[in-house]
Amino acid sequence: MGLQLKNTYTKRIEAFTPPAGGGPVTLYSCGPTVYSHSHIGNFRSFLLADVLRRVLEQRGHAVRHVMNITDVGHMTEDHLADAFGEDKLAKAARELGWDPYQVAAHFERSFMEDAMALGLKNYSGREAHDFELHPRATAHIPEMLAMIQRLLEREYAYVDSAGQVYFSVASFPEYGRLSGKVLSELEVGARSSVRSEKRDPRDFALWKVDPKHLMQWDPHSPEGWAPGEFERLQALLPNGVSSAIRRGFPGWHIECSAMSRARLGAAIDVHTGGEDNIFPHHECEIAQSYGARHAHGAAPNFSRYWLHARHLLVNGAKMSKRDGTLITVKALLDPARAGGHPLTDELARAGFPGGRVPAAVLRLALISTPFTQPMNFTVDVLVQAKACVDRLQSLYIRLRSVRGDQAASDTIRDLVASALDEFDAALDDNLNMSQALAALFRVISGANQRELSAGDALLVRQFLDRADEIFGVLDHAVLSGTLSKAELEQTAADPSFDVVLGDVSEPATIARLLAARLVARKTGHYARADEIRQHLAANGVELEDTHAGVRWRRR
Ligand SMILES: [Zn+2]
């Protein structure tokens, strides 16, 4: 059947086709606005992009994934196309007593930590530090002004007497198509701003002028720009920017139009976000990007597919900062540091000490509901996710210890083959993650019900590896590790140190055994040291002594 995706733009399920000209699939995701720690609802939409990317890669497509960082221009009243209120960064700066750039740097770092913990592929390895793939809005002001200038020249935009620039909605008849909003709804929703020289109440600002704003750029003077940035603007616009535009800052929508174009080109394959981005943010992006690039015959929509994650509720209610029900990723991963979270006590009672949720469990919880359905986040969901991760992990470890040379049985061969079909079909079906998880569990249950031959173990492991390329929850650190002599000595020095020759599925248990072995050797108890080594070997853990410490590995 091939991959089918629900395209918000056409409201249809469509077959995914790779880009016509070859080359990587270009994927743009609206990233965080870095004025606070990201909450679990934000991450549901970031994880949609991550899962899509993993599926595309598993199908053999190269993917170029750009996720921006919004660090200016995102106003508090962002449900309106022409958003007003206070810049979220400026508000946080005022509340924290920092400057907005400090706020942005602090919360961008916080976001990166969360993204790494939750296994976002675009924050792993070298990609994590590739600024081309994580463009900051404040580093793309020249591109935004160049796009605004182009929109003015093509009469998709106009400047008011204060030097603000507006997009003229009337110039783009397709406006409203993505969100399905009709003219009357758009007019009702539009609020005339303080300086109302707008030609149409639906028009929205591309460039804002407000002398009180803390982050400003003067398009006509090099003063106040970061080094090299004004020169870049001049290179992009040798004839300069319209003299009617005054010192100011960009609107949120133009940022993503300019950054996606700068990093991925004028037309892209897939654009993702949360459902609250559909209107106004993505509706406005489509209008701007079209106006800036349109040529005879160009499609009205610069992205072929639009995917949106539906909203997330906690215990059936919308999260609210004011009511104290907002749950950040940080708070769940490390409640002690974050000062707790609304579910701390309930989670502690449900078997999460201190209310702490392991990152793999949170990741699985956030991706296991199909993205086109709203998700209700509860303690129960986390309990189930934890059980899933634990069962997956312990089976994976068990598979490593199966030895011998017997071939695979027909039962396991058939089970894995049919589960693999079911798994692929589930992902093809608009990334149906709950169905994909069901296929995975069919294999786990089947494998747990019988003695496995080496051939069986290999087949099951191959399936789990394939499933985990998408789920991304297996902890490979339980498969090998290196411990220095200093670490082992520290472990042995712990007053609660004791050792039993039992289960070795936890890396911490292995560390304790290795520490005991070191102590035994140092005190001349060589038989005890050998006994420990033999116990580990019997449980599939091989040791290699190095000059610095011990390397262990599960077979
Ligand atoms: Zn965006």
**324 band by pLDDT with thresholds 50, 70 and 90:** confident
Q: Angle 409-449-455 (CA atoms, 0-180°, nearest 5)?
A: 30
Distance 5 CA to ligand 1 centre (A): 20
| Contact (Cβ atoms closer than 8 angstroms) between residue 218 and residue 233 | no
Nearest to 461 by CA among 478, 449, 443, 475: 443
| H or E element that contains 259 | helix 252-264
Distance 29 CA to ligand 1 centre (A): 7
Q: Quote the pLDDT of residue 350.
A: 96
Q: Range with the lowest mean pLDDT among 65-74, 95-104, 496-505, 524-533?
A: 496-505
Q: Is the peptide bond before 280 cis (omega within 30 degrees of 0)?
A: yes
Residue in the block written with tokens 């060589």: 526
Q: Quote the pLDDT of residue 194.
A: 52
- Which tens digit of pLDDT belongs to each residue from 198-227? 999 899 999 999 999 989 999 999 999 999
Q: Quote the pLDDT of residue 540.
A: 81
Distance 410 CA to ligand 1 centre (A): 50
Of the chain, the percentage scoring pLDDT greater than 90 comes to 78
Question: In sequence order, what are the residues at sequence separation of 6 or more whose Cβ sits closer than 8 angstroms to the Cβ of residue 141?
Answer: 217, 225, 229, 233, 250
d(CA 169, CA 181): 13
d(CA 360, CA 391): 13
Distance 277 CA to ligand 1 centre (A): 7
Tokens of 23: 């080359």
3-state secondary structure 160-205: CCCCCEEECHHHCCCCCCCCCCCHHHHHHHCCCCCCCCCCCCCCEE
| Contact (Cβ atoms closer than 8 angstroms) between residue 87 and residue 213 | yes
Distance 136 CA to ligand 1 centre (A): 11
d(CA 44, CA 363): 9
- Which tens digit of pLDDT belongs to each residue from 90-127? 899 999 999 999 999 999 999 999 999 999 999 999 99
Distance 178 CA to ligand 1 centre (A): 15
Backbone angles phi, psi at 359, to 5 degrees: -55, -40
| Contact (Cβ atoms closer than 8 angstroms) between residue 442 and residue 464 | no
Distance 281 CA to ligand 1 centre (A): 7
Radius of gyration of the chain (CA): 27
Tokens of 408: 């695979």
> Strands 157-159, 249-250: parallel, antiparallel or unpaired by DSSP?
unpaired
**84 band by pLDDT with thresholds 50, 70 and 90:** confident
Work out whether the CA dihedral 224, 227, 228, 229 comes out positive or negative: negative
Residue in the block written with tokens 């950054």: 259
Identity of the amino acid at 224: G
